[in-house]
Chain A
Amino acid sequence: MTLLDARPGRPVRILKIADDQARAQCVRFGIGEGTVIDSAETLPLGPVLVRHCRQEICMGRKLAGRVLIEDTESA
């Protein structure tokens, strides 16, 4: 599943960011492949809001669809 499928308010693990530049930028923000983020939520009529370590990052839906995640429980 992708960031678009994340349930609001629940931590998820980032598995893969399928965009070179976005992957590098996310690592700078503190989010790498394997990082467990605090939560991700698709905003109504808007982008995806990713929360991690007191930061809030907005990611366009097209890009969020290329970020693979898994539930932290299933790992």
Chain B
Amino acid sequence: MSATTATAPCCPSPTVDAPAGARRIVLVGNPNVGKSLFFNAFTGLYVDVSNYPGTTVAVSSGRMGDDVVLDTPGIYGVSSFNDEETVARDIVMEADVVLNVVDAVHLERDLFLTQQIIDMGIPMVVALNMADEARAKGVEIDVEELSGRLDVPVVPTVAVRREGFDQVRAALADARPGRSDPELQERLAALLDRAGTRPEALLVLEADRYVSERTGVSVEGQRDAIYQDRRRRVDAVVAAAVRQPAGRSDLGARLGRALVRPLVGIPVLALTLFAMYEVIGVFVAGTVVGFTEGTVMQGHVEPFLRGAIERVTGSSGTAYSVLAGEFGVVTMTVTYILGLLLPLVIAFYLLMSTLEDSGYLPRIAALSDRLMSGIGLNGRAIIPMILGFGWITMATMTTRILGSERERRIATALMAFAIPCSAQLGVVVALLAAAGGGMIALAYGAIMVLIFGLIGLALDRVLPGKSTDLLIDLPPLRLPRPRNVLTKTYHKTWMFLKEVSLYFVAGALLLSLLEVTGALQGLQGLLAPLTVGWLGLPSAASNAFVMGFVRRDFGAAGLFDLGLGGTQILVALVTITLFVPCIASVLIIMKERGRAFTAAVWFGSVGLAFFVGGVVAKLAGVL
């Protein structure tokens, strides 16, 4: 292999120990074909999930006997269109054997990737998954013909029931490079002395910019011609090996189509969001966290930890304050992570994995595409936005699914500015009720929607670059498979906790230091003129804003005991909602979008919050 540049990491890092002579078996397939079921069955519980170096895409690796098994993100083809493809590309290019999982119902689509990997010359086995579903839909597949045409082993499987898995394992020994196009292979051979490997030569020929840069070989790109030719070969294979009935729609297909139409789609979406809010925002954030954070952590664990620390440091010194004080590195971290975050993360991933597994998420994206395109986003951005109401930290990480950095910035900023998280929303609702509801609640809602739209329009104008258009495949609606949902939830929860724990320790340490040095109280004094003079709130309200730096819902909670009037409540709530995102969010935003962006969002939201709050106060005074 030729020398590599720093811009594109060349070698995936299998995080499990690989003995010498171990084969790298790489699972490849389109999204939603059941790849993860194969991975879980082959590797068991001892797998490693980690972010691929230089990207935000998670890669799982595990062991099967002496071999290493790597899972890759679902892709429709190998290239560099997005992070998922880049990661899959680099792992596939280093594969000894590819296990290609295809959806028997959609072979026209799935075999494109199969044929592309065959053209790379990598030994392969095809798992013809969802064989039962294809049969039920009347699709007849001649497996021998398919295997003969592709010239690789093809094994029918039903992954949800683990049918055919033993045969797949056995077939891996017979993996071989399949039948490519002789003329294409000649062109590749001519490039081999310069491009290194056959997969690299193919991607250079397909005008993959990154691989061209990496290998230092640039030829006139022939992607269109190669793709069209490959499409013809795949269509010929399908025509020979698959007999399909004329399209007929079952109940699932009809329901799936109704869900992207506003008349059915919008009410169903509203119901889904309401159910999610009830489960996460009310039941888990309230009842469950009340028990885990309040009763268990603050009631039993924290006093125990404080006692233990006190025995070492005494109960009054700086060391005690830093370790076990109000923002104690030991006490706050443990309470936040285990008492508050863990139940929320589990509940959250359970629901999200259920929605993901059912095929509903892409339909929400389709439904909201027009609206989102008005603010420089496309329909896919609705997913992090919905998550934002549950929990902005998590939603910020989910902006990774968006097509360009420009879109990720717009979505992250909108959430940080204008979307209250569930904990804060709870406090806001309670305060609005206290203010007499009605007009004040309406005014609050209208102001927030207006600000959201204006920020979106402004960012769309100001940020350079071009947003991507929606182009997604709607997977069939399915009943979620509990085992799949649980496995996903477990892996994602674990990965998330692993990622954020250190950030929390750092955040708690920073706050403790601010407190013991008196800087926290200083900030409070600094804010007073703004609070009283400009917003027309009592001076004690500045406490709420200082608390808001830590968590916006703490800030909102601080407004409870101030005895505010109706207008004051409106002003205070608008200000605190637009106010800076909580420490945890800030840390995640910094990790995902970088320091400069985070600083802009942070100072921008302080400025915007006080500006809009003040304008509302003055307007309300005039009216």
- Residues in chain B near residue A61, CB distance under 8 A: 369-370, 373
5 further contact pairs, Cβ within 8 A, besides A28-B109, A53-B106: A27-B231, A33-B228, A46-B260, A54-B137, A56-B474
Contacts A47-B366, A60-B373: A27 and B469 contacting too (C-beta < 8 A)? no
- Residues in chain A near residue B472, CB distance under 8 A: 57-58
Interface SS majority for chain A:
mixed
Using a Cβ–Cβ cut-off of 8 Å, how many residues does chain A contribute to the interface with B?
Answer: 31
Chain B residue nearest to A30 in the complex (CB) = B108
Does A22 sit at the interface, judged by CB under 8 A? yes
Considering only residues 332-390 of chain B, those with a C-beta below 8 Å from chain A are: 362, 365-367, 369-371, 373, 378-379
What are 5 residue pairs bridging A and B, where the CB atoms are less than 8 Å apart in the complex? A30-B231, A32-B231, A46-B370, A54-B105, A60-B470
Complex Cα–Cα for A37 and B334 (A): 56
- Residues in chain A near residue B137, CB distance under 8 A: 54
Does B54 sit at the interface, judged by CB under 8 A? no
Does A1 sit at the interface, judged by CB under 8 A? no
Using a Cβ–Cβ cut-off of 8 Å, how many residues does chain B contribute to the interface with A?
Answer: 41
Which A residues contact B (CB, under 8 angstroms)?
19, 21-30, 32-33, 38, 43-47, 49, 53-63
CB pair B228–A47 under 8 Å, yes or no, is no
- Residues in chain B near residue A49, CB distance under 8 A: 257, 260, 366
Chain B residue nearest to A34 in the complex (CB) = B228
Chain A nearest Cβ from B571, distance in angstroms: 35
CB pair B367–A46 under 8 Å, yes or no, is yes
- Residues in chain B near residue A55, CB distance under 8 A: 106, 108-109, 473-474
Complex Cα–Cα for A71 and B260 (A): 25
Chain A residue nearest to B257 in the complex (CB) = A56
CB pair A22–B469 under 8 Å, yes or no, is yes
- Residues in chain A near residue B106, CB distance under 8 A: 53-55
Specify which of B79, B228, B379, B470 is in contact with A32 (CB 8 Å cutoff): B228
CB pair B471–A63 under 8 Å, yes or no, is yes
Does B227 sit at the interface, judged by CB under 8 A? yes
Does B503 sit at the interface, judged by CB under 8 A? no
Chain B nearest Cβ from A27, distance in angstroms: 4
0/1 string, B143-168, CB within 8 A of A gives 1:
00000000000000000000000000
| 5 pairs of A and B residues whose beta carbons are closest in the complex | A63-B469, A60-B469, A60-B470, A28-B76, A56-B474
Does B303 sit at the interface, judged by CB under 8 A? no
CB pair A22–B471 under 8 Å, yes or no, is yes
Chain B nearest Cβ from A12, distance in angstroms: 16
Complex Cα–Cα for A25 and B247 (A): 23
